[in-house]
Structure 1
Amino acid sequence: FFVSSVILSGSSTAGPESIGRIDVPTTTVEELEAAHGMRFDALVMDIEGGELQFMRENPALLRQLNFVSVEFHESIILSAGIAECEQLMASAGLVHAETVAECAVWLRAN
């Protein structure tokens, strides 16, 4: 995670305002599902520019979800990155339902 000079800001992607990097421990969705004996079908994602990397690395998860709420940061992943995220969700059978500001909701097509 890259720390910004603005105290309330940071990103998973280095930018010109980055003043340092910190390592953040993580857990995969699969590890969470196994630890709690459940399978998730909804995802709320606000990961400060890490959306594209997450979706590229988790196609099987996208195929099991019925609901995705994602906050895109165009200033970080650019419109091409958002378009690729949208294509990955569509390829997984999700349909765009609504966007308000930077937050988009995608639902499983029936």
Structure 2
Amino acid sequence: MHLGNVIVYVLLAVLTIYNIRINMRLFKLRSSNIPRDPRNLSGQELETIKALSSEKRKWVILSQILFWTSFVFVFLNSMAVLGLFLDLYTVACIVSNQIDLNATQILINKN
């Protein structure tokens, strides 16, 4: 196994752990707080939520494309490229989860 392959898979492990930590924070935030009614949000908060939703949609589509591309590389027996695309998929999932976390914090914040 080449050094590049090892780096790609170590990076995948680190990114996956980070993604799991973000998911746990998001789960705890959602389960311990009740979101505000959308009618109680200010205009700026609604615009921010809409922008975050639109941005998240783009990242989810990208993550799905990267996942299915990596799935194709499983059948081509190209493990290094598979690892690279799984890294990219994980990064897209992390960004998507961060956007979710930001939106949830806006919905829960009671300024």
Query: How high is the TM-score relative to the length of structure 2?
Result: 0.24
Query: How high is the TM-score relative to the length of structure 1?
Result: 0.25
The one of the two structures with greater contact order (alpha-carbon pairs below 8 A, sep at least 6) is: 2
- Kindly name which structure, 1 or 2, has the bigger radius of gyration based on alpha carbons: 2
Task: Select the structure that is richer in strand.
Answer: 1
